[in-house]
Amino acid sequence: MQRESRKRRVGIVTPPDARVLMTPRTPSPKRYRKENGDNLEMGEANLRARQDEKHYKVFNDSIHGHIEVHPLCVEIIDTPQFQRGCYRVFPGASHNRFEHCIGTCYLAGRLVKSLRKRQPELGITDEDMLCVRIAGLCHDLGHGPFSHTFGALFIPTARPDAHWKHEDASVRMFDHMMMRNKLSPSFEKYNLTERDVTFIKELIAATVLETTICTSEDWPYKGRGPEKSYLYEIVANKRTGIDVDKFDYFSRDCHCLGINNSFDHKRYMKFARVINVSGKLQICVRDKEAGNVYDMFHTRNSLFRRAYQHKTSNIIERMITEALLKADRKVLFKGSNGKMFSISECIDDMEAYSQLSDHVYYQILNSSDPALEEARKILLRIQRRDLYKCIGHSIFRERRDEKEIPDIQLDIAGYIEDGPKLDPEDFIIDMVTFDYGMKDRNPIDEVRFYGKSNPDKPLFFRKDEVSNMLPEMFAEQHIRVYFRKNDPKLLEKAQRCFLRWCGRQKCTTPKGGDALAELTPMKSAQQGGPSNMERRLSYQE
- Which ranges of 57-193 does DSSP label H, i.e. alpha helix? 71-77, 80-83, 97-118, 126-138, 148-149, 155-158, 166-180, 184-189
Nearest-angstrom CA–CA distance, 495 and 511: 11
One DSSP character per residue, 216-281 reads TTT---SSS-GGGGGGGGSSS-TTTS--HHHHHHHHHHHHHHT------HHHHHHTEEEEEETTEE
Contacts of 105 (CB under 8 A, 6+ apart): 69, 73, 133, 134, 136, 137
Contacts of 539 (CB under 8 A, 6+ apart): none
Phi, psi at residue 334, to the nearest 5°? -80, 130
Q: Between vectors from CA 75 to CA 73 and to CA 80, what angle results, nearest 5°?
A: 110
Produce one character per residue of 462-473: b if its CB has 16 or more CB atoms within 10 Å, e if not: ebeebeeebeee
Q: Which of 64, 100, 166, 176 is labelled catalytic?
A: 166
Nearest-angstrom CA–CA distance, 432 and 477: 6
Number of Cβ within a 10 Å radius of residue 399 = 12
Phi, psi at residue 367, to the nearest 5°? -75, 150
Nearest-angstrom CA–CA distance, 167 and 173: 10
Give the 3-state secondary structure of residue 450: strand
Phi, psi at residue 27, to the nearest 5°? -70, 150
Q: Burial, 217: exposed, middle or buried (Cβ in 10 Å; 0-12, 13-18, 19+)?
A: exposed
Contacts of 520 (CB under 8 A, 6+ apart): none
Is residue 95 part of the annotated active site? The answer reads no
Q: Which helix (H) or strand (E) holds 336?
A: none
- CA dist list (Å): 174 to 82, 88, 268, 336, 411: 9, 20, 30, 16, 46
Closest CA to 174 of 213, 214, 209, 201: 201
Contacts of 256 (CB under 8 A, 6+ apart): none
The bridge status of strand 57-61 relative to strand 65-69 is: antiparallel
Give the 3-state secondary structure of residue 146: coil
CA end-to-end span of the chain: 87
Could you give the residue numbers annotated as active site?
A: 166
